[in-house]
């Protein structure tokens, strides 16, 4: 599989949904496979909350491959022998694209907390500029899970004639009150870290890692399911030799400590807050008198909405709501509910039914 | 669904209508309807293999148990609902019929006729009968409420379901003189347009 990692710079100012202007920006991108002569074999994959442009393959020295490696590659669900797959790190992120932790061009200062609020539709706008950059007139498919699924939906709404198929996986047309509440707890935990300094921690050369870690531990629980946690950890006690923290008793505690710490070392706190805010505010129907049906009416892409039975963060009712609105709007849309062992995170992992559905959808006539 | 049946349904369903097919199988009927009559179609199906067939056929499909879901499609602007050879598999066919007529203005229903002479002979023989329309053994059939043409039409009268059109097909799937003269005895299948 041909992998190409590239930072693409855009110099034109970008008008954000918030009304603020971003004076040029960088997008960190990774592509897999090759764009054909007709440029009609391109697939955009959009990352979820903490993902990035590294969707597949393994870099030198890396323990784990990209976040959707189980589905993207030669001979895999999204077969890179036939498709040119594009992944980006969204703006506001912290993996190479312009965000709160990248130094400002003019002042060379980190924008930190003053980095403007970005939205799902802003991300889609930047991804559209990237499509222009690659001279891709129309994506064969835009796909993503969770916050990535919201981008896939937004693509179909924002640019009806530039996407043929949209796979909206483990996502919703807006998140629930409970999800906003959980996000707010995570933000509060970060903000209360003494090293947060109202978001200006980078200029003080510190990082609110403790807060970030605890926020991630909370988040991580919501990405799994109760049965999955029981199966994986049960009530087994942690082997004292591998304890991350002396106070840890159970394996599940140690696991969360480990995951939280790993995350805190690689993620930026301002990005965390920004991404959760983007998720909270996602509601494409708000521009259509809060009428989702009206909002979906102009879609020309074919939709595939997928929910997982063990997902309690984005339960199947959300997928069904999109599907039912799509039917009322009279647009092409299918809905399937899959068994998933991993709760909300099920969208990340291969299962035969999941793979067959996506492959068939990708192959079906546009 | 065999060809004669497809042609009948194709003839009955108006162009550019919005159609829902309960128990749509591999989506073949919806595919033909959208190709030849430019309908907007949705299938409801619960079998994962059949759902995948729909997706590859480019047919919009919703994964759902029909028993649990017909009423969910009320108020969605469907012109026609189709229920081909699945009414007898539902837990409450009468309620399902009532609900279908709230989902769409008209519905196309196809029915295997349990009154057909071949099946009557099977019963006379002391065994659960089988035929081309009802091939499954008693222990693995999905049919819960088999009925004869006479039974079904009686239900329609009782519930004031108007039979707008009907066609009776013989064992070969053809509309024959005999099957139309004495449908309850000689038809293997009945097709109705109900309003």
SS (H, E, C) A234-294: CCCECCHHHCCCCCCCEHHHHHHHHHHHHHHHHCCHHHHHHHHHHHHHCCHHHHHCCCHHH
Is residue A52 located within the same domain as residue A82? Answer: yes
Residue of B nearest to A353 (CA): B48
User: Per-residue confidence at A111, pLDDT binned at 50, 70, 90?
Assistant: confident
Question: Cβ–Cβ of B63/A330 closer than 8 Å?
Answer: no
With CA atoms as reference, report the closest residue to B170 among B123, B108, B112: B112
In this structure, are A118 and A158 located in the same domain?
Answer: yes
A160-214 tens-digit pLDDT: 999 999 999 999 999 999 999 999 999 999 999 999 999 999 989 999 999 999 9
DSSP string, A313-346: SS-HHHHHHHHHHHHHHT--EEEEEE--TTGGGG
pLDDT band at B3 (very low <50, low <70, confident <90, very high): confident
Which chain A residues contact residue B59 at CB under 8 A?
334
Residue of A79, A344, A345, A346 marked catalytic: A344
Nearest CA in chain A to B50: A357
Count the helices and strands in chain A (H runs, E runs): 10, 10
A348/B contact by beta carbon, under 8 A: no
- A153 and A185 in a single domain? The answer is no
Query: Per-residue confidence at B83, pLDDT binned at 50, 70, 90?
Result: very high
d(CA A274, CA A278): 6
pLDDT confidence tier of residue A366, bands split at 50, 70 and 90: low
Question: Is pLDDT at B116 greater than 70 in this prediction?
Answer: yes
- B102 pLDDT tier (thresholds 50, 70, 90): very high
Distance CA A158, CA A180 (A): 24
Q: Which of A329-333, B73-77, B87-91 has the lowest mean pLDDT?
A: B87-91
Q: How far is CA B169 from the centre of its chain?
A: 13
- Cβ neighbours of residue A361 under 8 Å, at least 6 residues apart? A141, A165, A167, A302, A304, A334, B55
Dihedral angle sign, alpha carbons of residues A64, A67, A70, A76: negative
C-alpha A328, offset from chain centre: 28
Whether B62 sits inside 8 A of A361 (CB atoms) is no
Best mutation target among B35, B46, B48 (most A Cβ atoms within 10 Å) is B48
> Are residue A185 and residue A160 in the same domain, yes or no?
no
Which of A69, A122, A311, A345 does the annotation list as catalytic?
A: A311
Task: Give residue-wise pLDDT tens across range A234-260.
Answer: 999 999 888 888 889 999 999 999 999
Is the Cβ of A309 closer than 8 Å to some Cβ of chain B?
no
Residue B81 structure tokens: 């609902």
ipTM higher than the 0.95 cut: no
Q: How many domains, chain A?
A: 2
Averaged pLDDT for residues B66-78: 92
Which one of B62, B76, B77 has the shortest CB-CB distance to A334? B62
Pairwise pLDDT comparison (B134 vs A85), residue with the higher score: A85
Average pLDDT value for chain A? 95
Range of the domain at A231: 179-276
pLDDT tops 80 at residue B30 = yes
pLDDT band, very low/low/confident/very high, at A104 (cuts 50, 70, 90): confident
Same domain, A119 and A165: yes
Phi first, then psi: give them for residue A109, nearest 5 degrees.
-100, 155
Q: How far apart are the C-alpha atoms of B70 and B102, rounded to whole Å?
A: 9
pLDDT given at position A110: 77
**A119 catalytically annotated:** no
What whole-number distance in Å separates Cα of residue A350 and Cα of residue A361? 16
**CA count, 13 A, side-chain hemisphere, B64:** 25
Asked whether the beta carbons of residue A327 and residue B48 sit closer than 8 angstroms, the reply is: no
Q: Which residues pair with A165 in a beta bridge?
A: A302
Distance, in Å, from the CA atom of B194 to the CA atom of B96, rounded to the nearest integer, reads 13
Least confident residue range of A123-127, A129-133, B104-108, B170-174: B170-174
Residues A192 and A341 placed together within one structural domain of the fold = no
User: Phi and psi (nearest 5°) for A175?
Assistant: -85, 165
pLDDT, position A105:
65
Domains of chain B: 3-194 (3.40.50.150)
**Shortest Cα–Cα distance, A136 to chain B (Å):** 23
Q: Are the Cβ atoms of A360 and B56 closer than 8 angstroms?
A: yes
B155-187 per-position pLDDT tens digit:
999 999 999 999 999 988 888 899 999 999 999
Arithmetic mean of pLDDT, A215-239: 94
Give long-range contacts, CB 8 A cutoff, 24+ apart: A78-81. Answer: A78/A43, A78/A45, A78/A143, A78/A358, A78/A359, A78/A362, A79/A359, A80/A1, A80/A2, A80/A32, A80/A33, A80/A56, A81/A33
- Chain A residues within 8 A of B51 when measuring between CB atoms: 334, 336, 357
Whether residue A245 sits in one domain with residue A292: no
- What does pLDDT average to over chain B? 93
> Is position A173 annotated as part of the catalytic site?
no
- Range of lowest pLDDT (A67-71, A355-359, B140-144): B140-144
Domain end (from A223, A256, A276): A276
Instruction: Answer yes or no: do A334 and B61 touch at CB < 8 A.
Output: yes
Q: Is the confidence at residue A73, as pLDDT, over 70?
A: yes
Both A227 and A335 in one domain: the answer is: no
Same-domain check for residues A141 and A203: no
pLDDT at A108: 64
Q: Which of A64, A54, A59, A7 lies closest to A32 in space, CA to CA?
A: A54
Q: Contact A173/A153 with Cβ under 8 angstroms?
A: yes
Indicate if A160 and A94 belong to the same structural domain: yes
Q: What is the mean pLDDT of residues A44-57?
A: 96
Note whether A133 and A19 are same-domain residues. yes
Q: What CATH number has the domain bearing residue A256?
A: 1.10.1740.110
Q: Contacts of residue B18 in chain A, CB cutoff 8 Å?
A: 330
Q: Number of A:B CB contacts under 8 A?
A: 47
> Of A249, A276, A303, which closes a domain?
A276
| Catalytic residue flag (residue A334) | no
Q: Is residue A223 located within the same domain as residue A272? A: yes
**Torsion sign, CA atoms B68, B69, B75, B77:** negative
Of B52, B58, B77, the CB nearest to A357: B52
Predicted local distance difference test score (pLDDT) of residue B86:
84
- The CATH number for A110's domain is 3.40.50.1820
Q: Is the pLDDT of residue A112 over 90?
A: no
Judging contacts by C-beta atoms under 8 Å, the chain B residues touching residue A334 are 51, 54-55, 59-62
pLDDT at res. B133? 82
Dihedral angle, C-alpha A64, A263, A313, A17, nearest 10 °: -110
Q: Which residues fall within 8 angstroms of residue B109, CB to CB, at 6 or more apart?
A: B82, B83, B84, B87, B97, B191, B192, B194
The pLDDT of residue A15 is 96
Cβ contacts (< 8 Å) between A332 and chain B: which residues? 60
Chain A CA closest to residue B46: A336
A240 burial type by CB count under 10 A (0-12 exposed, 13-18 middle, 19+ buried): exposed
pLDDT at position B130 over 90: no
User: Rounded to whole angstroms, how far apart are CA atoms A55 and A65?
Assistant: 8
Residue B99 predicted with pLDDT over 90: yes
The residue out of A242, A276, A310 marking a domain boundary is A276
């Amino acid at each position: 599989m041909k992998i190409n990692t590239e930072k693409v710079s855009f110099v034109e100012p970008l008008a954000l949904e918030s009304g603020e202007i971003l004076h040029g920006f960088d997008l960190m991108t990774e592509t897999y496979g090759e764009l054909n002569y007709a440029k009609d074999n391109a697939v955009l994959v959009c990352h979820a909350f903490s993902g990035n442009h590294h969707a597949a393959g393994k870099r030198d020295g890396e323990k784990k491959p990209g976040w959707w490696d189980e589905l993207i590659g030669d001979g895999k669900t999204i077969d890179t022998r036939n498709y040119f797959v594009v992944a980006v790190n969204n703006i506001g992120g912290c993996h190479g694209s312009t965000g709160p932790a990248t130094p400002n061009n003019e002042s060379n200062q980190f924008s930190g907390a003053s980095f403007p609020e970005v939205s799902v539709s802003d991300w889609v706008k930047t991804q559209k500029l990237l499509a222009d950059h690659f001279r891709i007139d129309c994506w064969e498919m835009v796909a993503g899970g969770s916050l990535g699924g919201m981008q896939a939906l937004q693509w179909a709404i924002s640019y009806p004639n530039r996407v043929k198929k949209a796979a909206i996986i483990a996502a919703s047309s807006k998140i629930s009150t409970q999800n906003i509440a959980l996000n707010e707890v995570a933000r509060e935990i970060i903000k209360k870290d003494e090293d947060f300094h109202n978001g200006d921690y980078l200029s003080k050369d510190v990082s609110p890692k403790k807060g970030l870690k605890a926020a991630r531990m909370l988040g991580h629980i919501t990405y799994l399911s109760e049965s999955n946690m029981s199966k994986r950890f049960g009530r087994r006690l942690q082997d004292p030799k591998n304890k991350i923290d002396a106070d840890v008793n159970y394996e599940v505690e140690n696991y969360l400590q480990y995951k939280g710490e790993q995350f805190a070392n690689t993620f930026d706190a301002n990005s965390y807050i920004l991404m959760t805010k983007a998720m909270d505010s996602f509601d494409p129907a708000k521009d259509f008198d809060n009428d989702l049906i009206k909002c979906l009416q102009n879609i020309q892409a074919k939709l595939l909405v997928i929910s997982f039975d063990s997902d309690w963060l984005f339960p199947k009712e959300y997928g069904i709501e999109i599907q039912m609105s799509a039917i009322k709007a009279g647009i092409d849309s299918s809905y399937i509910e899959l068994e998933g062992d991993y709760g909300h995170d099920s969208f990340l992992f291969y299962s035969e039914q999941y793979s067959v559905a996506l492959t068939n959808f990708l192959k079906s006539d546009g | 669904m065999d060809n004669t049946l497809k042609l009948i349904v194709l003839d009955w369903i108006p162009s550019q209508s919005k159609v829902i097919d309960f128990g749509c199988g591999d989506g073949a009927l919806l595919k033909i309807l959208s190709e030849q009559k430019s309908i907007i179609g949705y299938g409801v199906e619960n079998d994962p293999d059949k759902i995948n067939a729909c997706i590859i056929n480019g047919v919009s499909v919703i994964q759902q148990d029909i028993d649990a879901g017909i009423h969910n499609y009320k108020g969605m602007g469907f012109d026609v609902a189709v229920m081909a050879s699945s009414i007898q598999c539902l837990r409450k066919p009468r309620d399902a019929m009532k609900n279908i007529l709230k989902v769409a203005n008209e519905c196309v229903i196809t029915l295997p006729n349990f009154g057909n002479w071949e099946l009557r002979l099977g019963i006379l023989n002391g065994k659960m009968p089988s035929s081309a329309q009802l091939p499954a053994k008693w222990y693995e059939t999905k049919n819960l409420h088999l009925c004869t043409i006479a039974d079904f039409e009686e239900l329609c009268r009782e519930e004031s379901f108007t039979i707008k059109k009907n066609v009776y097909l013989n064992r070969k799937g053809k509309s024959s003189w005999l099957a139309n003269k004495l449908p309850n005895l000689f038809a293997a299948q009945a097709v109705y347009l109900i309003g």
